[in-house]
Structure 1
Amino acid sequence: MYAIGIDVGTTNCKVCLYRLAELQLIKKHSFITPKKSSEYGSDFDISGLWLGIVDGLSRVATAVSDPENIVTISVASVGEAGVLLDADDRVMGPVMTWYDTRTQPQLEHIVSRIGESRLYEITGIPAHSNYSLNKILWLIEHCEHQTPASWLCMAEYVAFRLSGVKRAEYSLASRTLAFDITQDCWSAEICSAVDIPIGLFSPLVAAGTPTGELLAELSEATGISRSAKISISGHDHMVGSVAVGITEEQQILNSTGTTEGLLVVLSKPAATERYYQSRVSNGHHVLREAYTLYASLPSAGYAIEWFSHLFNLKPADFTSMTRWLMNKGAAETPTDSFLIPHLRGSGPPKRTIYAKGLMYGVEDRTDPEAFLKAVFHGLCYELRHLLETYESLTGSRWPSLMVIGAACQNPYWLQLKATILNREIVACKIPEAVSRGAALLGARGAGFEPGDVSLPAESLERYQPDAKSAERFDIVYQQIYKQLYETKIHIENQMNRT
């Protein structure tokens, strides 16, 4: 038997077919997440995305001689982004990316009705324009000729198109700003305060729970059995954590992609004043009785993409450049140059959409290789700042971080993480962790328990900090990076108030 895991990402979408016995990846189809240019930047092209997923299902199904034995399809996606539908299930307005900032006026309206601290107390997440509720209010305001009937986050929408059944999943619900994290339900208080019907949100199901079966027309188009169970596996970072076994509070995951974040498993939400002041997010885990502490840095892989475009580098050129830096020993060579990578605003503990990137240490001799070093140094300093925030809040210290995602293909970045964070880095080199987690959750939810899904030792690569270099990086971090960070954020906040 087989299971399919779908990962709807910011940059790429992946449709992956696994043999259930040992959760072995049989076939992967990947395509660039289609977007449309707009006056605000870009929106998801939801029609193109859907066609890409159907095509991907068809392609992976041909990899096996018995596609009727594909028993589950489960979908993970980015958080915050979603689709507003009218009573006839027509898409209302644009499908905004999760990082879209046009909704700042809607956030200000929400805060004026409820208050930031009360919002955090209810939802466990800090007020921010990224969250779904802001997008819903913007769409209602700008689509006056249509009456909204339902909101579905991205994975929920794809699952709806596959099965015809609308359901919401807990980990995605907890990224909407309309979910009560302590009561485990949609917040009547928030919906009432902003004048939207609570019925806009679908009934909640646990990650991996079947919501229906594959529609007949899709079975015919893809060759996959009509009886295949469809489910929502949830928020991509949480889904990826399941794939690599991050299930206990003693562990911490660094999930990397377009963004990168730190995820810790909690037994209950931590929506106290101290956590609120640091702007870290509580959420529901995809594991039903667990919660998460999660914070995202908006630019990680995106900063690398930005650098590549800036210098017009092809992927092979970029790979060659990082390999050259690694061979040169540059991963252990501190410099005073770095980028504060606030290209799409800043993450915790000073989270704001008004933050801008800042390059420090540029000289007349700065070449593309030195510039790239500065980008990577800055990404690692930013991650260290977030890690220290976590440890200050929780009282824990994590001597080792597990890494999944794009960074695992870049030994230079991994060695820098180890040295600048002064921790062991364990790179989990399993392909497509999010799709794997989605397939695992979907299979279990449908009653199919895979065999041994523990990670093989050869999939884990360990990086240790260089002690001497760590001391020198620490000086730059403490004496320059943190000082410039605080000054920059202060100036930006002052400018925003004027």
Structure 2
Amino acid sequence: MYAIGIDVGTTNCKVCLYRIADLELIKKYSFITPKKITEYGSDFDINELWQGVVNGLGQVANAVKDPENIVSISVASVGEAGILLDTADNIIGPVMTWYDTRAQPQLERIVSRISESRLYEITGIPAHSNYSLNKILWLMDHAGQQQPAAWLCMAEYIAFRLSGVKRAEYSLASRTLAFDISRNGWSEEICSALDIPLSLFSPLVLAGEPTGELLAELSEKTGIARSAKISISGHDHMVGSVAVGISGEDQILNSTGTTEGLLVVRKQPSASESYYQSRVSNGHHVLPDAWTLYASLPSAGYAIEWFTRLFNLKPADFNCMTNWLMSKGAAESPTDSFLIPHLRGSGPPKRSIHAKGLVYGVEDQTDSEAFLKAVFHGLCYELRQLLETYETLTGSHWKSIMVIGAACQNPYWLQLKSTILNREIVACKLPEAVSRGAALLGARGVGFQTGDITLSEDLLVRYQPHETSGRGFDRVYQQIYKHLYASKIQIENQLNRT
């Protein structure tokens, strides 16, 4: 028997076929997430994306002789982004990327009607223009004659196109700014205050719970049996955590990609004043009766992409550069230069869409190699600040951090993480963790018992901090980075108020 996991990501989309018995990856189909360049930045090209998913399903099904044994298709995706549909299921307006900022005026409207502290008390997440509610209001303001009838997050929309059934999933609902985290349902208070019909939001289902079967025309087109069950597996970072067995508060996950975040699985959410002031997010996990503490830094892999564009580097050239840095011991060589990587705004604990990147330590001899080190140093300092915020809030201390995603392909970055954070870094070489987690949740949803996830040591690479160079990095972090960070945020806040 087989299960398919779909990962709709910011940069790439993947459709992966797994054998359920051992969760072996049989076939992967990937494509660049299609976007349209607009005056605001970029939107997802949802029609082209949908065609890529359908093509991918056909490709992976064709890799096995018995595609009728594909029993489930489950979809994970980025959070916040989604699609507004009218009464005839036509798409209203553009499909904004999660990091789009055009809905800032709508956020101002929201907080004028419900205070930021009350929003956090209800939803467990800080008011920010990225969240779905702002996008919904923007689209409603620009809907023209179309009558808004339904909002679906990205994974929910793909599942709807596969099955014809509209449903919402809890971990994605937690990223909308319209979900009541204490009542465990859509917030009547928020919808009423903003004149949004509660019916705009679909009934909620658990991650992996079947919402329907594959539509007949898609079965014929892809070769997958009509009886294959469709489900929503949820928010990609949470789905990836399932694939590597993160399930308790004694564990912490660093999920990396276009962004990177820190994820802790918890027994209950916390929307106290200290959590609110730190701008960290609570939410539903994709596991039953589990919650998350999660915060994302907007520029991780994106900062690296920006660097390669800046110096016109091909992927092979970039890989050679980082491999050379690692081989010459650059991960053990502190410098006074770094990038504060606020290329798409800042993450917690001082979250702002108005934050800008800042490079410190550039000299007349600075070349592309030195600049790349500054980028990586800054990414690690930013992650350290977030980790320290977590530990202050929770009273926990994590000696080891599991890493999944793009960073696991970069030993230089991983060693820097270990030394600058002063923690063991455990890099998981498991390919396509999000798609695997989606397939696992979908298989469980149709009754297959997959058991607990235990990763063999050959899938893990462990990095230990370098004590001597760690002291040098700590000096830069404490004496320079933190002071410049605080001053920069203060200046940006003042400019934003004028």
- Pair in the same fold by TM > 0.5: yes
What is the distance in 1 between the residues matched to 2:174 and 2:215?
Answer: 28
Judge conservation of contact 1:22–1:453 (CA < 8 Å) in 2: no
What amino acid sits opposite 1:256 in the alignment?
A: T
- 1:190-243: CA deviation from partner (whole Å, max 9, x where unpaired): 000000100000000000000000000000000000000000000000000000
Q: Structure 1 residue 450: deviation in Å?
A: 3.1
Judge conservation of contact 1:23–1:453 (CA < 8 Å) in 2: no
What is the distance in 2 between the residues matched to 1:177 and 1:486?
Answer: 28
What is the distance in 2 between the residues matched to 1:457 and 1:227?
Answer: 37
What is the distance in 2 between the residues matched to 1:146 and 1:270?
Answer: 39
What is the distance in 2 between the residues matched to 1:180 and 1:388?
Answer: 28
Name the structure 1 match of 2:441: 441
- 1:364-385: CA deviation from partner (whole Å, max 9, x where unpaired): 1000000000000000000000
What amino acid sits opposite 1:216 in the alignment?
A: A
What amino acid sits opposite 1:312 in the alignment?
A: N
- Residue 428 (1) aligns with residue 428 (2): yes
What amino acid sits opposite 1:457 in the alignment?
A: E
Judge conservation of contact 1:384–1:421 (CA < 8 Å) in 2: yes
Name the structure 2 match of 1:489: 489
Judge conservation of contact 1:420–1:474 (CA < 8 Å) in 2: yes
Q: How does 1:26-425 map to 2 (within 5 A)?
A: 26-425=26-425
Judge conservation of contact 1:4–1:16 (CA < 8 Å) in 2: yes
SS in 2 for 1:334: coil
What amino acid sits opposite 1:257 in the alignment?
A: G
What is the distance in 2 between the residues matched to 1:454 and 1:201?
Answer: 37
Q: TM-score, normalised by structure 1?
A: 1.00
Judge conservation of contact 1:71–1:227 (CA < 8 Å) in 2: yes
Structure 1 residues 189 and 409: CA distance shift in structure 2, 3 A = same
Judge conservation of contact 1:21–1:451 (CA < 8 Å) in 2: no
What amino acid sits opposite 1:354 in the alignment?
A: H
What is the distance in 2 between the residues matched to 1:123 and 1:266?
Answer: 16
Structure 1 residues 284 and 451: CA distance shift in structure 2, 3 A = closer
What is the distance in 1 between the residues matched to 2:206 and 2:451?
Answer: 22
Q: Structure 1 residue 449: deviation in Å?
A: 1.9
Percent of pairs with identical residues: 80
Q: Structure 1 residue 71: deviation in Å?
A: 0.3
What is the distance in 1 between the residues matched to 2:159 and 2:288?
Answer: 19
Q: Structure 1 residue 290: deviation in Å?
A: 0.5
- 1:261-297: CA deviation from partner (whole Å, max 9, x where unpaired): 0000111111000000000000000012000000000
What amino acid sits opposite 2:334 in the alignment?
A: P
What is the distance in 2 between the residues matched to 1:221 and 1:452?
Answer: 35
Q: Structure 1 residue 454: deviation in Å?
A: 2.3
What amino acid sits opposite 1:281 in the alignment?
A: S
Q: Structure 1 residue 456: deviation in Å?
A: 1.7
The number of aligned residues is 498
Name the structure 2 match of 1:460: 460
Q: Structure 1 residue 161: deviation in Å?
A: 0.2
Judge conservation of contact 2:18–2:26 (CA < 8 Å) in 1: yes
SS in 2 for 1:189: helix
Q: Structure 1 residue 457: deviation in Å?
A: 1.3
Judge conservation of contact 1:22–1:451 (CA < 8 Å) in 2: no
What is the distance in 2 between the residues matched to 1:314 and 1:57?
Answer: 30
Judge conservation of contact 2:245–2:453 (CA < 8 Å) in 1: no
What is the distance in 2 between the residues matched to 1:269 and 1:112?
Answer: 26
Judge conservation of contact 1:23–1:451 (CA < 8 Å) in 2: no
What is the distance in 2 between the residues matched to 1:474 and 1:452?
Answer: 38
Q: Structure 1 residue 144: deviation in Å?
A: 2.1
Structure 1 residues 243 and 34: CA distance shift in structure 2, 3 A = same
Q: Structure 1 residue 448: deviation in Å?
A: 1.4
Comparing 32-41 with 443-452, which one deviates more in the overlay? 443-452
Instruction: Please tell me the root mean square deviation across aligned C-alpha atoms, in Å.
Output: 0.6
What is the distance in 1 between the residues matched to 2:456 and 2:87?
Answer: 48
SS in 1 for 2:15: strand
Q: Structure 1 residue 453: deviation in Å?
A: 4.3
What is the distance in 1 between the residues matched to 2:105 and 2:158?
Answer: 29
What is the distance in 2 between the residues matched to 1:164 and 1:48?
Answer: 19
Judge conservation of contact 2:180–2:186 (CA < 8 Å) in 1: yes
- 1:423-457: CA deviation from partner (whole Å, max 9, x where unpaired): 00000110000000000000001111236742121
What is the distance in 1 between the residues matched to 2:32 and 2:451?
Answer: 32
What is the distance in 2 between the residues matched to 1:187 and 1:373?
Answer: 45
What amino acid sits opposite 2:217 in the alignment?
A: E
SS in 2 for 1:240: helix
What is the distance in 1 between the residues matched to 2:449 and 2:62?
Answer: 24
What is the distance in 2 between the residues matched to 1:145 and 1:260?
Answer: 39
Structure 2 residue runs without a partner (length 5+): none
